[in-house]
């Protein structure tokens, strides 16, 4: 590790406000540690693309599309410029239009609701289940109206949403499902990969995702050939053959450089997911050892799900105090997410109010994500757990 631990270090008291926090002992996500393990392979891949001077789509992108299709048990995968575009292109390909309603959750990254709004459709929010942080399917059917045109569940933090119930409601009302799987590549629900159950699965290669590129990137998976064709046309200006515009599309292609780097990293993804799961299991064991599982709300994973822990998120009522205390001891944490979509300025026009989604609002006050990246060491985890124990001592 490039950040040696100093075992004798005195734990800092909670910061009083105007003190400068000490340097972090290690980063929240150590991408440099990961790069160090694959540097030569990545450089070779970059070189290969530079020598080819083929930068947009092409063989590297097609190869990555095939590999992601195989991983997600889908026949088709279509590379695009970002996870947000994967959502937008899915909505476009499914002809979701002005004033159509799309049901999603308010506890997610803003792009989930933002892409629905960008398509001039209306995001309709459903509250989350407090244990999984995913869409509460008990509230789903009541949100379906005659204007509902799609469901957009999110597999938050790397845990699949309750797809059996979601697909049942979708089937009953003949609605397509767009899976926001941006945080969940490799995750499974009842032995099915996320991205393979809905009409489309939307993946992000933003650097902080489990499969992160050297910049932005995204992918849409589907088992529907006609939909895959439309997605390919839409991502490339609406043209199938050069300069013949069949529909209004966008420019959202995946770069060959990104695809070549992602192909290197994809080989390691199963190992990295295992490492994240091991870290999650180790946190649980360490918390249980100290009786802290009685105080902290630890992540919950239903038996039939394979979690990939893009985030390891605990919940505590005194979240901000705990976060400050950890920061005072040089320990990194993050809050995903501090504000629910329905109370953000961009979504104010939807007319939701404080109190509309109590579990989402409570989660925004209580969640705290701890470092769980694959290269995290046992010593680093102990430091986090010991400092949390001190906070509660």
When asked if residue 252 is in the footprint of ligand PLP (CB under 6 A), the reply is: no
Give the distance from CA 116 to its chain's centroid. 17
- Piece of 1-9, 77-85, 249-257, 342-350 that binds ligand PLP (CB under 6 A): 77-85
Choice between 188 and 204, CB closer to ligand PLP = 204
CB of 151: closest distance to ligand PLP in angstroms?
15
Choice between 287 and 347, CB closer to ligand PLP = 347
Q: Which of 136, 183, 199, 313 binds ligand PLP (CB under 6 A)?
A: 183
When asked if residue 162 is in the footprint of ligand PLP (CB under 6 A), the reply is: no
When asked if residue 311 is in the footprint of ligand PLP (CB under 6 A), the reply is: no
* Chain position carrying tokens 């809050």: 335
Q: Which of 111, 150, 260, 363 binds ligand PLP (CB under 6 A)?
A: 111
CB of 388: closest distance to ligand PLP in angstroms?
25
When asked if residue 84 is in the footprint of ligand PLP (CB under 6 A), the reply is: yes
3-state class of 249 per DSSP?
coil
Measured distance CA(221)–CA(205) in Å, rounded = 14
Find, among 4, 3, 21, the residue nearest to 12 by Cα. Answer: 21
3-state class of 248 per DSSP?
coil
> What is the DSSP secondary structure assignment for residue 389, as one 8-state letter?
H
Choice between 137 and 183, CB closer to ligand PLP = 183
Instruction: Please compute, for residue 199, the number of CA atoms within 13 A of its CA located in the half-sphere on the CB side.
Output: 25
When asked if residue 182 is in the footprint of ligand PLP (CB under 6 A), the reply is: yes
Choice between 25 and 214, CB closer to ligand PLP = 214
Choice between 111 and 220, CB closer to ligand PLP = 111
CB of 161: closest distance to ligand PLP in angstroms?
11
3-state class of 204 per DSSP?
strand
Measured distance CA(386)–CA(366) in Å, rounded = 20
The residue of the chain with the least Cβ separation from ligand PLP equals 83
Q: Which of residues 11-70 bind ligand PLP (CB under 6 A)?
A: none
Measured distance CA(117)–CA(58) in Å, rounded = 32
When asked if residue 216 is in the footprint of ligand PLP (CB under 6 A), the reply is: yes
Measured distance CA(251)–CA(57) in Å, rounded = 12
When asked if residue 107 is in the footprint of ligand PLP (CB under 6 A), the reply is: no
When asked if residue 82 is in the footprint of ligand PLP (CB under 6 A), the reply is: yes
* For helices 31-52 and 256-266, angle between their N-to-C axes, nearest 10 degrees: 130
> What is the DSSP secondary structure assignment for residue 340, as one 8-state letter?
-
Choice between 202 and 296, CB closer to ligand PLP = 202
CA-CA-CA-CA dihedral for 179, 181, 185, 190, to nearest 10: -50
3-state class of 336 per DSSP?
coil
Choice between 94 and 211, CB closer to ligand PLP = 211
Handedness of CA 377, 297, 334, 317 (dihedral sign): negative
Residues that bind ligand PLP (rule: CB under 6 A) add up to a total of 15
- Piece of 51-59, 138-146, 180-188, 356-364 that binds ligand PLP (CB under 6 A): 180-188
For the chain, what is the radius of gyration of the CA atoms?
A: 21
> What is the DSSP secondary structure assignment for residue 124, as one 8-state letter?
E
CB of 134: closest distance to ligand PLP in angstroms?
11
Tell me the helices (H) and strands (E) count for the chain, helix number first: 11, 12
- The order of strands in the sheet holding 192-193 is 192-193, 188-189, 305-306
Measured distance CA(307)–CA(162) in Å, rounded = 13
Q: Which residues contact 131 (CB under 8 A, 6 or more apart)?
A: 300
When asked if residue 195 is in the footprint of ligand PLP (CB under 6 A), the reply is: no
When asked if residue 109 is in the footprint of ligand PLP (CB under 6 A), the reply is: yes
- Piece of 13-21, 103-111, 186-194, 246-254 that binds ligand PLP (CB under 6 A): 103-111
Choice between 118 and 173, CB closer to ligand PLP = 118
- Piece of 35-43, 94-102, 104-112, 345-353 that binds ligand PLP (CB under 6 A): 104-112
CB of 378: closest distance to ligand PLP in angstroms?
28
When asked if residue 255 is in the footprint of ligand PLP (CB under 6 A), the reply is: no
Q: Rule CB under 6 A: which residues touch ligand PLP?
A: 82-84, 108-109, 111-112, 154, 180, 182-183, 204, 206, 216, 218
């Amino acid at each position: 590790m490039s950040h040696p631990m100093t075992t004798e270090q005195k734990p800092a008291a909670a910061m009083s406000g105007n003190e400068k926090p000490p340097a972090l002992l290690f980063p929240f996500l150590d991408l440099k540690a990961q790069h160090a393990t694959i540097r030569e392979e990545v450089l070779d891949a970059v070189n290969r693309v530079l020598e080819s001077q083929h930068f947009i789509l092409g063989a590297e992108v097609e190869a990555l599309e095939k590999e992601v299709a195989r991983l997600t048990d889908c026949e088709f995968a279509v590379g695009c410029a970002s996870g947000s575009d994967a959502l937008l292109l899915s909505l476009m390909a499914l002809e979701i239009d002005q004033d159509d309603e799309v049901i999603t959750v308010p506890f997610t990254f803003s792009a989930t609701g933002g892409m629905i709004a960008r398509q001039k459709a209306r995001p309709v929010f459903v509250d989350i289940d407090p244990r999984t942080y995913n869409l509460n399917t008990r509230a789903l059917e009541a949100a379906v109206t005659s204007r509902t045109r799609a469901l957009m569940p999110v597999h938050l933090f790397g845990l699949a949403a309750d797809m059996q119930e979601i697909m049942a409601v979708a089937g009953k009302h003949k609605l397509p499902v767009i899976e926001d799987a941006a945080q969940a590549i490799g995750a499974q629900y009842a032995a099915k990969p996320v991205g393979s159950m809905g009409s489309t699965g939307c993946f992000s290669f933003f650097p902080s995702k489990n499969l992160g590129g050297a910049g932005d990137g995204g992918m849409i998976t589907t088992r529907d050939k006609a939909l895959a064709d439309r997605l390919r046309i839409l991502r490339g200006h609406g043209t199938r053959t050069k300069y013949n515009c069949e529909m209004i599309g966008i420019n959202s292609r995946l770069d060959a450089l990104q695809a070549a780097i992602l192909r290197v990293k994809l080989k390691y993804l199963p190992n990295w997911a295992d490492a994240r799961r091991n870290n999650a299991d180790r946190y649980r064991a360490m918390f249980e050892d100290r009786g802290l599982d009685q105080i902290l709300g630890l992540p919950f994973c239903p038996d039939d799900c394979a979690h990939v822990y893009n985030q390891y998120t605990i919940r505590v009522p005194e979240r901000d105090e705990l976060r400050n205390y950890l920061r005072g001891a040089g320990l990194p944490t993050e809050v995903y997410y501090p504000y629910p979509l329905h109370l953000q300025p961009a979504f104010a026009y939807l007319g939701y109010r404080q109190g509309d989604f109590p579990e989402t609002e409570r989660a925004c006050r209580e969640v705290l994500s701890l470092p769980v990246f694959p290269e995290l060491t046992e010593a680093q985890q102990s430091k986090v757990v010991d400092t949390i124990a001190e906070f509660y001592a």
